């Protein structure tokens, strides 16, 4: 478990901002959790990291300037950095960790389809883990929250057309790795 306790000495938000933060929390908390749970398969860890993200956001909220960036860009940047820090600390690739459902299916192969599905999921995770960081980010942002290419471009600081190209290329790459594996 990650220690989420944090010194709150520097949380200084005016009444208006407190209200704004509460509204943004309601709107973005599920999105942030979905993003993290896509990358971190452990539920407890995903909860811990979500807590860390919002504590950081609360602490830094005074410095957030809506004229410079959209809140979604700002909070997803905090989230990405938090997940990167997590990987750095634990030095492991979470995509490779099968989740509970996959484990259960793999242990109980009686319905053949379930076993095949579990195997395919595990493979897909492996191929995803082999992509470069930018390709992984684009995929996670797209599939965890159905973000538009423009939103993804803002978070990754790329152009919209660049994001489109990355997504097309990456999805084709996943497919080709998958077909190669099936033909082995």
Partner 1 sequence: MNNKQKKDKLMLENLDHIVAGEKLNEKSELDKETKATLELTREMTSWPKSPSKEFKAELKAKLTHQVAEQKKRDALKSGGSEFQEILNRPAWQLTIAAIIALIIVAIIIVIIYIVQH
Residues that bind partner 1 (CB under 8 A): 6, 8-9, 11-13, 18, 22, 25, 29-30, 33-35, 37-38, 43, 46-47, 50-51, 54-55, 58, 99, 117, 120-121, 124, 128, 139, 142-146, 149, 164-165, 167-168, 171-172, 174-175, 178
| Nearer Cβ to partner 1 (133/172) | 172
Tokens of 104: 């259960």
CB of 68 to partner 1, least distance (A): 23
- Cα 7 to Cα 1, 37, 51, 53, 176: the distances in Å are 18, 26, 14, 14, 48
| Nearer Cβ to partner 1 (109/173) | 173
DSSP result, 111-159: SHHHHHHHHHHHHHHHHHHTS-HHHHHHHHHHHHH---HHHHHHHHT--
| Nearer Cβ to partner 1 (8/81) | 8
Nearest alpha carbon to residue 89 among 40, 137, 125: 40
CB of 55 to partner 1, least distance (A): 7
Nearest alpha carbon to residue 126 among 178, 87, 180: 178
CB of 133 to partner 1, least distance (A): 17
CB of 84 to partner 1, least distance (A): 18
| Nearer Cβ to partner 1 (18/133) | 18
Nearest alpha carbon to residue 79 among 49, 123, 103, 41: 49
CB of 156 to partner 1, least distance (A): 16
| Nearer Cβ to partner 1 (71/143) | 143
């Amino acid at each position: 478990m990650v220690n989420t306790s944090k010194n709150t000495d520097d949380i200084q938000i005016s009444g208006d901002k407190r209200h704004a933060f509460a509204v943004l929390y309601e709107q973005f908390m599920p999105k942030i959790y979905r993003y993290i749970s896509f990358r971190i398969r452990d539920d407890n860890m995903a909860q811990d990291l979500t807590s860390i993200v919002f504590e950081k956001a609360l602490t830094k909220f005074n410095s957030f300037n809506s004229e410079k960036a959209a809140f979604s860009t700002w909070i997803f940047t905090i989230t990405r950095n938090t997940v990167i820090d997590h990987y750095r600390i634990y030095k492991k690739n979470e995509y490779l960790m099968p989740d509970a459902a996959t484990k259960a299916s793999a242990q109980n192969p009686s319905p053949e389809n379930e076993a095949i599905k579990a195997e395919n999921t595990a493979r897909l995770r492996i191929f995803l883990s082999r992509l470069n960081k930018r390709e992984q980010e684009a995929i996670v942002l797209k599939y965890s929250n159905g973000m538009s290419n423009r939103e993804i471009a803002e978070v990754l600081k790329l152009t919209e057309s660049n994001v489109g190209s990355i997504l097309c290329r990456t999805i084709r790459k996943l497919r080709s790795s998958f077909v190669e594996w099936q033909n082995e």
